[in-house]
Structures are given as structure tokens and as C-alpha cells.
Amino acid sequence: MKDTKNLNTNLKKLEEISDWFDNREEVDVEEGLEKVKEAVVLIKESKERLKQIENEFEEIKKETDVDLNNKK
């Protein structure tokens, strides 16, 4: 099973795919297509994880705001 939660892992894999394309004089079309498909999955997973992280930060902010308001 792929690690869909680790944003750093996904970013590293995307960098590796980018490097793969950069380091080819000629790109095998079939292999390139597989790399693009993999990148699309990684990008989608990363966007989902970023959204989760954003939601977690919003929850923390709400809790902090409530705590601050209760102390006034």
C-alpha cells in the first residue's frame, strides 16, 4: 500500500520523476507515460494531504481563539 499521508515522501518522488525527465536526451514514450501517470497520482495525494493539513491548522486556530476569548 502506498504511503498517501507522507507529503515529504510524495514530494521527493515527484522530484525524482522530474529529474528522470531532465536527465534524458531521449525519453521513451511508454516509460515517460508511466512516469506522468505516477506523478499525477502523487500530485492528487499531495493536494489531499495539504487540504488535511490546512484543516488541522484551522482546528488548532479555532481552539486557540476559543481559549484566548475565554481568558478575557
Query: Does position 28 have pLDDT exceeding 80, yes or no?
Result: yes
Which pLDDT tens digit goes with each residue over 41-62?
A: 999 999 999 999 999 999 999 9
Check: CB of residue 49 under 8 Å from CB of residue 10. Answer: yes
Output the pTM of the full model: 0.75
Confidence check: pLDDT of 3 > 80 = no
Domain-wise residue ranges, the chain: 7-71
Listed residue (45, 57, 55, 51) closest to 12, CA to CA: 45
Q: What's the whole-number mean pLDDT along residues 13-27?
A: 95
Return phi, psi of residue 44, to 5°: -60, -45
Higher per-residue pLDDT: 11 or 65: 11
Mean pLDDT for all residues in the chain: 89
For residue 24, the SS3 value is coil
